[in-house]
Structure 1
């Protein structure tokens, strides 16, 4: 038979083979040093570094993971990072990913608590404006890339647009969870299974037994209920500090800025931290990379009662991130078993479209409003240049961030 035959379609990309703990640590250390802009920006940095550049997981597996972490209480971006480290190099990989991504900002904020970084209002520095402009470009690049895979047709694009509108019109903490749930329900009812298939390359396998997962979920609940009882019985200052930050990490959805009112009520209102100290630390937290939950380290070091100093910072950081780790370990094994089922996949098609809508909404507010509108034309030009470098020249995000920071320091 003669003629030109069309080449067969390329198979979906498989998850990358298991890596090493050292590899995970070094990759996340770079992210921890350069990931500015808040939790949504962190998700974009993860996607650029681990999905697009290193191909640790497929786009769909990453989107499913983000969707799961949006449902879990705690810092969503940190939970995504923990899960990626777990998938790549097991339990030690999870620890390495969390430690490397978190510790740079913890060290900076604890140093600030000791008065080492007395540089005034860091949030208004030119280099910080440059980093925020770079975050605009990174998030825009992620939204564009994810939309190509997760919203390739009119129904899913419509779900993404509706989710974006809802989140922008109703900017409350719990609206994110509600919007994701609604998107999943629409997907279950409206989207057809034939529109998307679950392939081997979209697996997200973790080496955690269901027995260990159930134990982690049980320990999460036991600590949440038991720590207040322990404090009430003993009055121990160390136990009280653990209880305070463990509850903050357990009861907040959305992470980031959502945890601030709870921390203020638990520390400033109770007299544990002075109001001026809290505000100064919050300003410094805006100027450091990594998760905003590391603000807990500053508060733990600044307490007027109890351990304080470095011991207080260590307790606060461990306690506020422990719920996130327990929930990731507890949820992932069951999640992987569920997400391959047809009905769940239909719902996830809607959920993933909703995730694109949430990221698009966050691209406008707070990423674009804080990074460009509040700064001016110079920040807009810098964001455009950074986006061009990422999207057209395929420059790595860490290099774009560093150059943007220098340009912001010189010009903004």
Structure 2
């Protein structure tokens, strides 16, 4: 085995270790990535890590997954990057498919079995409120951005359609890109040179999936198109994905109940790996009428659909990123895109609360979850496990 092959093997081994141990969200993931990929293995320099992280956060799609694949791309090109993608997402994907199977089995065979999740459903809303507060605090710096947050929240709440989200994101980006003169000028060393192959691949798959879905009406193809479209539009991480999935698969298509969705979202907060793994849970339950095989087909289709667009786009942009980031309108547009994403999160928190009974116990668990995340260092899996235990105790002794 050559030195290069050994290095590739070590990279994949490090990636799977991260996929099994990366609890705690993006901040904890970045710390682990810095320790393992930079300081211990020196796959890239620390400055390169932060630059790639900034680039991934500026693109639609799952930022943590894009970052892993971007590092793999730098280390061993596209082949290693695609292998790293599989290694990184597979454990979480399988866990969420099995979670969907378990939830469905309990619902079908044990009436009231989901009472164990009665508290983790309001707790899921606490997670979303915490995520919204963190993202707003980090990205919203101007009055114009706050106005966009409020408008986006208002529109997302009253016009709950998956097709309004790309319109809002586009309007948000355009509305702040006109302020590009406020951005500092950066020296351009050479004309922008773009290699379009991966962009054509991304757009081609999107169009082909939409056309085939419309012609065949075959649910697996339609499901792939749904997730691929969502994966092409999400800015801001897994929390921002929640309103998209809830609107499309609960409100719009009724593939899942609100109870099922909230239970799955809470479970996804307690497992390692990418937060976009909630998609595999939604995809699995969307194919439940096809039996056990349908769960696995739906889960893997959802994973492919949600992760591939971001990977195609990072491979497209990484080749000319050093030149693109010097253009002021590009940097200015991000303010509006981030603001609209924050507004969607606020709307999502309220829309997810609506189906729950508005009693003191649910509100208490929402607030307690937020307080634990905000003011303690207790990890998400422990918080979720505590909610499950309290749900079991409440179900057995107080009902």
TM-score bracket, normalised by the shorter chain, equals 0.5 to 0.7
Aligned residue in 1 for 2:78: none
Aligned to 1:143: 132
The residue number in structure 1 matching 2:284 is 297
Equivalent position of 1:352 in the other structure: 338
Q: For residues 180 and 225 of structure 1, do their structure 2 counterparts lie closer, same or farther at Cα, with a shift above 3 Å needed? A: closer
Query: 1:12 — aligned with what?
Result: none
Q: 1:302 to 1:329 in 2, by over 3 A?
A: same
Q: TM-score, normalised by structure 1?
A: 0.64
| Structure-2 residue corresponding to 1:50 | 29
> Following TM superposition, by how much is the alpha carbon of 1:187 offset from its aligned partner in structure 2, in angstroms?
0.7
Among 236, 245, 252, the residue aligned to 1:255: 245
For residues 318-355 of structure 1, the C-alpha deviation after alignment (integer angstroms, 9 at most, x for no partner) is 33433333322222233453455211111111111222
Gap runs ≥5 in structure 1: 1-18, 35-44, 70-75, 199-208, 233-239, 265-277
Q: Is contact 1:183–1:351 with CA below 8 Å preserved after alignment?
A: yes
Relative to structure 1, is the Cα distance of residues 187 and 103 closer, same or farther in structure 2, using a 3 angstrom cutoff? same
- CA displacement 1:85-110 (0-9 Å, x = unmatched): 42455333322332222211212333
Distance in 2 separating the partners of 1:115 and 1:135:
20
1:191 and 1:349 in contact (8 A); partners too: no
Contact 2:209-2:222 within 8 A present in 1 as well: no
Q: Which residue of 2 aligns with 1:287?
A: 263
Distance 2:155 2:288 in 1: 39
Partner in structure 2 of residue 180 of structure 1? 169
The answer to whether the 8 Å contact 2:172/2:337 transfers is yes
Change (3 A) 1:120 1:58: farther
Residue 357 (structure 2) aligns with: 374
* Equivalent in the alignment of 1:391: 374
Structure-1 residue corresponding to 2:153: 164
For residues 142 and 115 of structure 1, the distance between their equivalents in structure 2, rounded to whole angstroms, comes to 30
Contact conserved, 2:153 with 2:347, CA < 8 A, in 1?
A: yes
1:360-382 per-position Cα deviation (integer Å, ceiling 9, x unaligned) = 2222222x445xx5252122222
Q: Contact 2:15–2:84 (CA<8 Å) still a contact in 1?
A: yes
Q: 1:246 aligns with which of 220, 224, 232?
A: 224
Q: Hey, what does 2:3 align to over in structure 1? A: none
TM-score, normalising length from structure 2?
Answer: 0.66
Cα root mean square deviation, aligned: 4.1
Once residues 146 and 403 of structure 1 are traced to their aligned partners in structure 2, the CA distance between those partners, rounded to angstroms, is 26
Q: In the alignment, does 2:389 pair up with 1:406?
A: yes
Number of the residue aligned with 2:329: 343
Deviation at 1:120, TM superposition (A): 2.4
1:55-110 superposed Cα distances (whole Å, 9 cap, x missing partner)? 79769957x756743xxxxxx6xx45542442455333322332222211212333
Cα 1:339/1:220, change in 2 over 3 Å: same
Give the number of equivalent residue pairs: 330
Inter-CA distance 116–334: structure 2 relative to 1 (3 Å threshold): same
Q: For residue 97 of structure 1, what is the aligned residue in structure 2?
A: 88
